[in-house]
Every structure is written in C-alpha cells, then in structure tokens.
Structure 1
C-alpha cells in the first residue's frame, strides 16, 4: 500500500487524522507483518503446497479416515496412479510432516500426523459455511 493511499485510508476512518496517526498505523502494520517469521512461513507454505496436489490430498484423507496404518499397496484400489507415484507422494507427505512412516520387513506403513488431522479438521469445519 503506498504512503498516499495509507494516508487516505486512515483519514477516511478518522476525520481528525494527522501524520502521527498514519505513522502509528504504519508501526501497527509492521508489527503484524513481523508475526509471520520467515521460517514458519516457509514451513507452512511447504505443507500447503504439498496438500495442493490431488493425489497427496486424497492419500491424507484416506489415511485420516482409516482406523490405523495403511501399507502403500493398499492405496492402489482408491487412486488412479501407479504404486510408484503413490510412493513418491507418500515421500513428499512424510517430508512435509503430514504422515509418518514405519517399515516392517519389506512393507512400509503410513499414518497421518496430528498436524495433518488438524488441517483436515479445520478444512471440514470451515467448509460448512460454503454451502
């Protein structure tokens, strides 16, 4: 927002606007911007980008609905992609911290993390207003 535009915005909200009011609002906005630090912002954006893929999103939904862990081979009946693509998607989800992986012999089992479950719950809770 340009300085002139911010001045007009503050003036529209307060008839007795002065340069000190604009500077105060600029400080308040600067403090707000500082709350989104670089590290957490990068981590959050990585998680959102990971969930933005249809296959990865469906995997997380399936895992969240499952009662326990699922093996990579159990996704084939539900997804129209190869087992290799499922494995790759699960690797991305693991890296993003949305699923955990446990190896038992030659089989790998996956389940959603608390963060994945919380994100899906938040999406479900806010989707009710879309209808």
Structure 2
C-alpha cells in the first residue's frame, strides 16, 4: 500500500513519544491486516443502501416488512401515492438489491421483504432506539 505516511508518523510520535520507520511500518502492517480481515461485499452493500436511500423504495420495504405475508403492486400503490408503474420500478430495484423477493402467480406479482431487508431495518431502528 503506497501512502504518504507523514501524518501517521506525527500521530505515532505523539502517541509513543517518538517514532521511527519501524513504528510506521508496523502500524501500516496492522492496518493492512485489519483491512484484510474486514468482511465486505462492497457492491452488494452499496446496492442495498442505495436502494433504501429513495423515499418510495424505503417506504415499500417498510410496508413489506410489516405486512403479514406478501403484497401485490396494487396493494402498495395506494400506500406510497405513486403510480403502479413507479411502484413496479421501485420493486425491481429493491429486488436487484436483494431486499425483496418476488413471486409470479398468473398475471399477479407478489413481493415480500427478505431477511436482509428485515435486518437492515432493525439496525436502522436500533440506532434510533425503536422497534
């Protein structure tokens, strides 16, 4: 990892009283180990967070998580006050992000929140002390 270590050197010198190249290298090694052991699927995480950043999609996931079972587009449209087409588009984005499941039955599509969506909503609620 190529980096300008000037600020890190200053931090270590302040914390340790003095700092040499070996101290900087040791700390960089520790930080690289931290990065290597930190689980991350950046694309999936950002996709899920991006999907929740839109008000309509956020509301839809909340309604699906709170519902007792699946809901159809025609049941969600009155709740979010947008067209069936806009709801369908939002649901497609949520499905692509792994936050809703969909099941087709005849001409109807039924949607439900995934366990990941439930956990994300729980985490958001926990940070506000709700739920």
Structure 2 length as normaliser, TM-score?
A: 0.90
In the alignment, what sits opposite 1:29? 31
Decide whether aligned partners of structure 1 residues 37 and 118 sit closer, same or farther in structure 2, where only a CA change above 3 A counts.
closer
CA distance in 2, matches of 1:116, 1:2: 40
CA distance in 1, matches of 2:43, 2:37: 13
CA distance in 1, matches of 2:37, 2:91: 31
1:126 Cα deviation (Å)?
1.1
1:84 aligns with 2:121: no
In the alignment, what sits opposite 2:69? 68
Give the SS at the match of 1:2. coil
Q: Name stretches of at least 5 consecutive residues in structure 1 with no aligned partner.
A: none
CA distance in 1, matches of 2:32, 2:46: 21
Q: Name stretches of at least 5 consecutive residues in structure 2 with no aligned partner.
A: none
Name the Cα RMSD after superposition: 1.8
1:77 Cα deviation (Å)?
1.6
Deviation by residue 1:47-94 (Cα, 9 ceiling, x = unmatched): 111111111110000001101110110012211211100000001111
Matched length: 128
1:37 Cα deviation (Å)?
6.8
Give the SS at the match of 1:109. strand
Give the SS at the match of 2:69. coil
Structure 1 length as normaliser, TM-score?
A: 0.90
In the alignment, what sits opposite 2:105? 104
In the alignment, what sits opposite 2:22? 20
1:35 Cα deviation (Å)?
4.0
CA distance in 2, matches of 1:37, 1:114: 19
